[in-house]
Amino acid sequence: MEKRPLILISNDDGITAPGIRNLVMLMKELGDVVVVAPDGPQSGMGHAITIGNTLRLYKTDVFEGVDAYKCSGTPADCIKIAKYHVLKDKWPDLVVSGINHGSNTSISVLYSGTMSAAIEAAIEGMPAIGFSLCDYDPEADFSHTHEIVLKVAKQALEHGIPKGVALNVNLPAKQNEPIKGVKVCRQARAKWQEQFDERFDPNGRRYFWLAGNFVNFDKGEDNDEWAIANNWASLVPVQFDMTAHHAISEINEGWNL
């Protein structure tokens, strides 16, 4: 009997979020599933890890018939504790994170807990994918993403993912027509233009609330923002080596160091 792949699942919206429930259901079709996910929302945590505080891990039956654990730490913590404690000598054939409730295109990959789980897995040498649905509606429908999530995961299991690379897959919100397919593309040049609203609590104490708008400066048609806007799923291979290689010679030649 052929051995089924071992698939590790995590997220940043918490272990009870609808996105991870969809992902568990889909990955059970492809292999044996183990879940290690935060015990509550960890959105926007980026690649934070827990240092100097306790890290708690509890087994849970939130997914019927699935070996699942909720962790008090961040998404990156979840991957670390999964590798070194939960899985121990077992090596996952694939790590998947999500399905995130909201977009992780462009610069959002730096802030994303969803992608930090995937990137942490890549750092550890494990093939990894982060899935995000570009819909912030509390009642968002994930069903139209299932075919593409399965397709990408199957291809990753069949062909592997280059070492040190995680795949950032964003899926458009449900529309009147099916998602057109998958575009392998680059990260768009876009950013958040933040503003801080100054407010006062009932006791008259001042506080600030982060607000702002997402602005796309990129006019190309080969990036993730364009893909999502045109009803394609975007797939961006990302890496944790953030060296600006093109700047090394410029600094060496132009600076007096």
pTM of the model: 0.92
Task: Judge whether 209 lies within some domain.
Answer: no
Task: Judge whether 207 lies within some domain.
Answer: no
Which of the four pLDDT bands, split at 50, 70 and 90, describes residue 66? very high
What pLDDT is attached to residue 44?
Answer: 81
Task: Judge whether 139 lies within some domain.
Answer: yes
Task: Judge whether 227 lies within some domain.
Answer: yes
Contact 102, 41 (CB under 8 A): no
**Residue owning tokens 């104490």:** 205
Q: Report the CATH number at residue 88.
A: 3.40.1210.10
Q: Which of 182, 184, 10 is nearest to 95 (CA)?
A: 10
For residue 1, pLDDT beyond 70:
no
* Cα–Cα distance for residue pair 82/8, rounded to 1 Å: 8
Chain segment 219-230, per-residue pLDDT in tens: 888 999 999 999
* Cα–Cα distance for residue pair 219/99, rounded to 1 Å: 28
Contact 98, 114 (CB under 8 A): yes
Task: Judge whether 93 lies within some domain.
Answer: yes
Task: Judge whether 165 lies within some domain.
Answer: yes
* Cα–Cα distance for residue pair 108/106, rounded to 1 Å: 5
Chain segment 26-58, per-residue pLDDT in tens: 999 999 999 999 999 888 888 999 998 999 999
- Count structural domains, the chain: 1
Chain segment 107-128, per-residue pLDDT in tens: 888 989 999 999 999 999 999 9
* Amino acid identity, position 71: C
Q: Prior bond to 99 cis, omega within 30?
A: yes
Task: Judge whether 204 lies within some domain.
Answer: no
- Domain of residue 124 covers 6-188+220-254
Task: Judge whether 44 lies within some domain.
Answer: yes
Chain segment 141-152, per-residue pLDDT in tens: 999 999 999 999
Two tokens, residue 2 = 């052929």
